[in-house]
A and B are shown apart, each in its own frame.
Chain A
Amino acid sequence: AAGVIQSPRHLIKEKRETATLKCYPIPRHDTVYWYQQGPGQDPQFLISFYEKMQSDKGSIPDRFSAQQFSDYHSELNMSSLELGDSALYFCASSQGQEGSPLHFGNGTRLTVT
């Protein structure tokens, strides 16, 4: 079965650079979520989209932005990177039904040096 696809798998950037992470949700899933997970921490919700519109916002820094495109893929744009942005970034998708579970992509490991 098709899963959530994220790219790139690994990314190394220097401080103050920008990064773009991509996510392709499971076909026919209409909601996309972005999470950040630091070492030893649980995933922290950043932002979500429902039918290409931003539906909810979590602890996403102002330096970050995201959007969902007409083909339902989503991109997380990160600017003025800081050392503390180093983390695993997961995208997840779900179908619109109430209470349906999230399905996660295999993540992008971002290292800021």
Chain B
Amino acid sequence: RKEVEQDPGPFNVPEGATVAFNCTYSNSASQSFFWYRQDCRKEPKLLMSVYSSGNEDGRFTAQLNRASQYISLLIRDSKLSDSATYLCVVNNGYSSASKIIFGSGTRLSIRP
């Protein structure tokens, strides 16, 4: 089992819809969590950090559930420009870069 798992999708939803996806992690000691978006052949871009209390940035809401060991990303009123791959990133240890674990990404496609 991978340390960080995501549903690969693709999620294909109409513009304006609400879409949510989860990311599960296996290490209960994981310390920080992030969502990145990556467009085809481009670099991952930080979308948002995920805080214990949950956080919102415009149409995007991130939640952390430590008991069940997952984080979620909710996108409201989806736009065509939201089409991308969303990467879940978990940091399992501050002292080691190799403990920054990437999920394989969830592909999202917004249709007109």
- Chain A residues closer than 8 Å to B105, beta-carbon distance: 42
CB distance from A23 to the nearest CB of B (A): 12
Interface of B is mostly: mixed
The closest CB in chain A to the CB of B91 belongs to A99
B104→A42 contact, CB < 8 A: yes
Give the contact-size bracket for chain B.
20 to 34
The closest CB in chain B to the CB of A57 belongs to B98
Among A11-19, A63-71, A101-109, the stretch in contact with B: A101-109
Residue B72, interface by CB 8 Å:
no
A45→B98 contact, CB < 8 A: yes
Number of interface residues of A (CB under 8 A): 23
The closest CB in chain B to the CB of A104 belongs to B43
Among B13-21, B44-52, B62-70, B74-82, the stretch in contact with A: B44-52
Known contacts A42-B105, A99-B31, A99-B32; decide if A56 and B42 are in contact (CB<8 Å): no
Assembled-state Cα–Cα distance A54/B74 (Å): 37
Residue B96, interface by CB 8 Å:
yes
- A: residues with CB less than 8 A from B are 31, 33, 41-43, 45, 48, 55-58, 88, 90, 98-99, 101-107, 109
